[in-house]
Amino acid sequence: MKTNAKLMTGLLLTGSLLAPHLYAQTAPDQPNGPEVTTLSPGMAPPAFDQPRPERPGGPGRHPGLRPDRREARGPLGRREGLTALTTVTGTVGQLTGNDDFILNGFTLKNASGTVTTVKFPAHLGQSVQQAVKAGSNVSVTGFTETSHRGEANFRMTSLTSGKTTVTDAPPAALPTPPATPTMSTVTGKIADYQLDREGRVNGLILSTPGDAKTIVRIPSNVVAQLSNLATKGSTITVQGFAKIPHEGQVQLEKATILRASVLTINGQQYLVR
C-alpha cells in the first residue's frame, strides 16, 4: 500500500508539472483572448525586472536639458526670436497688391535711386492708403526678409508719413460676423489666364458684360485637366462663391474673385474638387 501511495503521489506531481506545458502546446488559438507565450524546455522565462539599457547620451543625460533641434518659426516661416530693425526713408512709388488685387505693399525709392519693395499685412491696407500716396515722403521701420522665391522684401513694422504713423498690429475683432458668401453664376468667354509670380496658372480671366473683371479661381490640380477643355475664347459658365474683402482690406482693381464650385463647358458640368 505504501508503495502504491508513493507511486500515485509521483504520478500526480509529474502531471501537475507537465500540464501547463501541454496546454500551451495544444490550446487552440483565441483571437480575442490574451496572447499565450510558449516556453520550450530549457528556455528561461523573460526577465521583466531587468534594468533597461542606457539611452543614447550615456549616464548623466538630463531629458529636461536636451536641446530642441526644431527651429521655432512664425506665421510667415520666419525664425522667431530677436530680429534687428532698421529704418529706411524715401518716396512712395507704386502701390502693389496680391493675386486678388488686395493692397499689401508699395515700392519705395531712396535718395540714391535704389527701389525697395515694402510689404505689410493686408488688413492694414486702408490705414496705409489713407496715410500715403504716390510721391509721399515716408519713413519705414522694419526688417529685410527673403521669400521662398528668393525675392528680398522689406517687412514693415511701422510707417510714418508727416504726422501720421501706421503700426503693424493684429486686426481688430469684428463686432458682427462677416456676411455669408452666396452662390453666384457667371457666364463669359475666357479672355486670358492669370499667372502667379512663379508663372503658374491660378485663375481664368473671363470677359463678361459690363466693366467689372471676373477672375475664376481654380485649384492647381484642375489646371491640367482644363488645358484642353477651357481654351482661350471658349465660353464657360461658373458657379461659385465670390470672395469678400475682410475688414481693413483695399482692392486696388475692381474685380470679382469667384472660387469655382461647378464648371459648365460645352454643355457638360464638372464638379471642382
pLDDT tens-digit readout, 109-136: 999 999 999 999 999 999 999 999 999 9
Q: Are 186 and 214 in contact (CB under 8 A)?
A: yes
The average pLDDT across 224-249 equals 89
pLDDT value at 193 more than 60: yes
Q: What is the dihedral of CA 161, 166, 167, 172, to 10 degrees?
A: 180
E strand residue ranges, 29-177: 86-97, 103-109, 115-119, 137-146, 152-161, 164-167
pLDDT value at 37 more than 60: no
Q: pLDDT band at residue 219, thresholds of 50, 70 and 90?
A: confident
Q: Are 215 and 186 in contact (CB under 8 A)?
A: no
Q: Is residue 7 part of a domain?
A: no
The average pLDDT across 244-273 equals 90
155 and 98 housed in the same domain = yes
Residues 152, 145: Cα–Cα separation, whole Å: 6
pLDDT tens-digit readout, 46-86: 443 444 444 544 444 444 444 444 444 444 445 568 999 99
Q: Is residue 254 part of a domain?
A: yes
CA Rg, the chain, in Å? 36
The average pLDDT across 23-46 equals 41
252 and 203 housed in the same domain = yes
What DSSP state is assigned to residue 149?
Answer: T
pLDDT of residue 94: 95
Task: Identify the domain boundary among 121, 138, 167.
Answer: 167
pTM (2 d.p.)? 0.64
pLDDT value at 209 more than 80: no
Task: Identify the domain boundary among 139, 167, 195.
Answer: 167
Residue 125: what residue type? G
pLDDT of residue 25: 38
pLDDT of residue 13: 45
All three cell numbers of 185: 453664376
Q: Is residue 109 part of a domain?
A: yes
Q: pLDDT band at residue 254, thresholds of 50, 70 and 90?
A: confident
262 and 221 housed in the same domain = yes
For residue 205, the domain's CATH number is: 2.40.50.140
pLDDT value at 24 more than 90: no
Residues 162, 131: Cα–Cα separation, whole Å: 9
The average pLDDT across 16-35 equals 41
pLDDT of residue 12: 45
- Could you tell me the residue range of the domain that residue 193 belongs to? 183-271
97 and 152 housed in the same domain = yes
